[in-house]
Structure 1
């Protein structure tokens, strides 16, 4: 399997499809590069080199005991770009992957990056605080951690419902899509998935967003039950220097169905413009 090795010896699996300008995609929690297969196929079929890696502890990458923090995730992403010598790249991050992308840009700059897409992304801060009243209460995040420790298999089955908006009237989410979410989640190490909850929810990306000096497409569903738009995209566009906000009416957190088709069209247009 193709992989790169980080300075601490972690093996990071990646997919590398097509040729042309590189588009590098960072997945959400608790998934893997497989979550991007439709977008990888789309991009590689339209003249791009599409690359997606499994975050450490997820998918086929090493299940490390330590290093499950946003700074290390960002440095792992830097290793992917540097070891594959990717330049003039477009970075795409969904959910936790959006935090990873933002932190990469905050720590490593935009020398290798031309554009960015943040879709359903956790920045600037997911956690509810006095200064971020629109955020997610800590009790909900604690419930995620408890679910992982109690019965993570059932927890992932249950989480797939709000993730894809399957609890909304008229929802058309296949059992296969929900099963795939469960399958990818179960591939992540328990310790890695547990530690990552704190990283996607409690890390403040405000400074990272303010340092980004390339165009950013901020895409978000307005019925996202996992990362509500009012605490995420609506605030991120105010912090970014050059941002375009695209709101998908009625769309959930998971990129699926009509939402996926609309997003794919916008992604391809943004990459080719």
Structure 2
């Protein structure tokens, strides 16, 4: 087993290639593994990390490579590599019978993990505002953004990343957050490695998980904001037996806009 360094509430887990991921591991009970979206790290789940462990949940939040406190190599920013890194975390922390939660891009990565690693260590999955099976349009897929829009964002990331992040984050919420919250979220976003940010935008533009949905054989719950611009009809088709939870007052950022409901539905699904 690879050695891991431990902080007060977290681990640095080696995933190979001299890359270490930071993992928050808090509480005891049923494990719930949280995969963050773009452009922030697992710290976006503050309101889960500080609540769910008091309710019998083991919170496990992973900073993907290039995000948060994890190492920042120049390469490896693909759904396949993210999924392989997550597998190493499951192995090193001996995580079993977990609920895997993926938000936005993290939802797409969760799908890739489940298909690529046959659901190793996972017994349930939550897709929250998930960018899956595709984030962009194709000739046979009318949902999402045109690829050209994403290409323009990738170019903008090379020219004025702070402005792009501010503009990008402003589209997440149906309810207007406080300015202090926006400043906090933007600071987290700016802390993401610039290469990881740009390459993750490229993942959103070109990764395709349509063939993977039918390879997932655990109970799935889909969380979706009623006012989210990301359609979730393809997910419903891909997971016809999934439970659907609509967040009536939320846009894309349902984790924050209805955090009490988000936590309650996580608990309900995990403990069922």
Unaligned regions of 5+ residues in structure 1, if any? 166-170
The Cα of 1:199 is off from its aligned counterpart by 1.1
TM value normalised by structure 2: 0.92
Task: State the superposition RMSD in angstroms.
Answer: 1.5
Q: Is residue 224–residue 254 contact of structure 2 (8 Å, CA) maintained in 1?
A: no
Q: Is residue 16–residue 50 contact of structure 1 (8 Å, CA) maintained in 2?
A: yes
Pairing partner for 2:21 from 8, 12, 17: 12
Superposed, which structure 2 residues align to 1:1-273 within 5 Å?
A: 1=7, 2-165=11-174, 171-225=175-229, 228-229=230-231, 233-240=232-239, 242-255=241-254, 258-273=257-272
The Cα of 1:88 is off from its aligned counterpart by 0.6
Q: Separation in 2 of the partners of 1:36 and 1:223?
A: 21
Per-residue deviation, residues 71-105 of structure 1 (Å, max 9, x unmatched) = 00000111111100000111000001111111010
Q: Is residue 27–residue 94 contact of structure 1 (8 Å, CA) maintained in 2?
A: yes
The number of residue pairs the alignment matches comes to 263
Relative distance call for 1:191 and 1:102 in structure 2 (3 A) is: same
Q: Separation in 2 of the partners of 1:209 and 1:25?
A: 19
Q: Separation in 2 of the partners of 1:154 and 1:140?
A: 16
Q: Is residue 91–residue 115 contact of structure 1 (8 Å, CA) maintained in 2?
A: yes
The Cα of 1:179 is off from its aligned counterpart by 1.2
Relative distance call for 1:38 and 1:208 in structure 2 (3 A) is: same
| More deviation, 69-78/127-136 | 127-136
The Cα of 1:250 is off from its aligned counterpart by 4.3
| More deviation, 72-81/104-113 | 104-113
| More deviation, 71-80/102-111 | 102-111
3-state DSSP class of the match of 2:32?
A: strand
Unaligned regions of 5+ residues in structure 2, if any? 1-6
The Cα of 1:238 is off from its aligned counterpart by 1.4
TM value normalised by structure 1: 0.92
Q: Separation in 2 of the partners of 1:258 and 1:57?
A: 26
